[in-house]
């Protein structure tokens, strides 16, 4: 099976409320590439990682199977967006210097993606994928988020296990490279966190199948632990990054 579309229903929330990846990640990836002419951002969503890559690469091709996610993507003169999944026929053989997959590798048909990486990768190209699981704020807030996440278990897809184990059981074609530690950070209000929770695929599935509002059900408890809707707190998501040289 190829990559499935789990995010079209909440694509506007995804664009508005998802955290951004650290600039240091793109700088490091560009330093590992032998050239910075062309990058491919596969499973790009609304272009979160795409724009970071565009600061370092002359041209970026970005693809996602969700038309509504692509519709939310920010235009950039160095970027061309495509509605496509694990393969991108628009890319010529052996031309891509860096291939990235941000928070999406677990949805891919692994064999199909590996074959496409080998087809499009320039000699010595780098391929990287990263993921993040639950955010951390304070012990009180974290306990509520952990329970909220666990309560959504019937609506998480099986592939989510790869996020939980930090891609420990997924691999990329080529020789593995060791990546430094990276984390996303944001200073958010609880209002922003609630919007972020609403962007989760399991929340959208639960709401569609049951008519419930899972985020609304936990709002009061979170507000009490957070200290108010508009109080700003530091939110941290450790990144799990896997990298290989093709």
Confidence check: pLDDT of 16 > 90: no
| 115, burial (CB in 10 Å: exposed 0-12, middle 13-18, buried 19+) | middle
Confidence check: pLDDT of 14 > 90: no
| Higher pLDDT among residues 236 and 10, named by residue | 236
pLDDT of residue 174: 97
pLDDT of residue 21: 96
Mean pLDDT of the chain: 93
Q: Domain spans of the chain? A: 11-245
pLDDT per residue as tens digits for the range 166-188: 999 999 999 999 999 999 999 99
Dihedral in degrees, nearest 10, Cα atoms 229, 234, 237, 238: -160
pLDDT per residue as tens digits for the range 189-206: 999 999 999 999 999 999
pLDDT per residue as tens digits for the range 27-55: 999 999 999 999 999 999 999 999 999 99
Dist. CA 5–CA 67, nearest whole Å: 9
11-245, CATH topology level: Rossmann fold (3.40.50)
């Amino acid at each position: 099976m190829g990559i499935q579309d789990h995010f079209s229903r909440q694509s506007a929330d995804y664009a508005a409320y998802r955290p951004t990846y650290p600039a240091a990640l793109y700088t490091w990836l560009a330093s590992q590439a032998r050239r910075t002419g062309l990058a491919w951002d596969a499973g790009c969503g609304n272009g979160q990682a795409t724009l970071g890559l565009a600061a370092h690469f002359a041209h970026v091709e970005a693809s996602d199977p969700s038309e509504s996610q692509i519709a939310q993507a920010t235009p950039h003169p160095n970027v061309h967006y495509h509605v496509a999944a694990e393969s991108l026929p628009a890319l010529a053989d052996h031309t891509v210097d860096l291939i990235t997959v941000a928070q999406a590798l677990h949805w891919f048909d692994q064999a199909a993606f590996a074959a496409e990486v080998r087809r499009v990768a320039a000699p010595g190209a780098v391929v990287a994928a990263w993921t993040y699981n639950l955010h951390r704020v304070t012990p009180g807030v974290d306990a509520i988020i952990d329970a909220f996440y666990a309560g959504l278990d019937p609506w998480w897809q099986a592939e989510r296990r790869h996020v939980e184990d930090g891609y420990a059981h997924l691999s990329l074609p080529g020789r593995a490279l060791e990546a430094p530690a990276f984390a996303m950070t944001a200073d958010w209000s609880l209002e922003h966190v609630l919007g972020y929770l609403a962007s989760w695929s399991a929340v959208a599935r639960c709401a569609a199948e049951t008519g419930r509002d899972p985020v609304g059900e936990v709002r009061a408890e979170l507000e009490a632990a957070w200290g108010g809707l508009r109080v700003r707190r530091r939110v941290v998501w450790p990144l799990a990054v896997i990298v290989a040289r093709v």
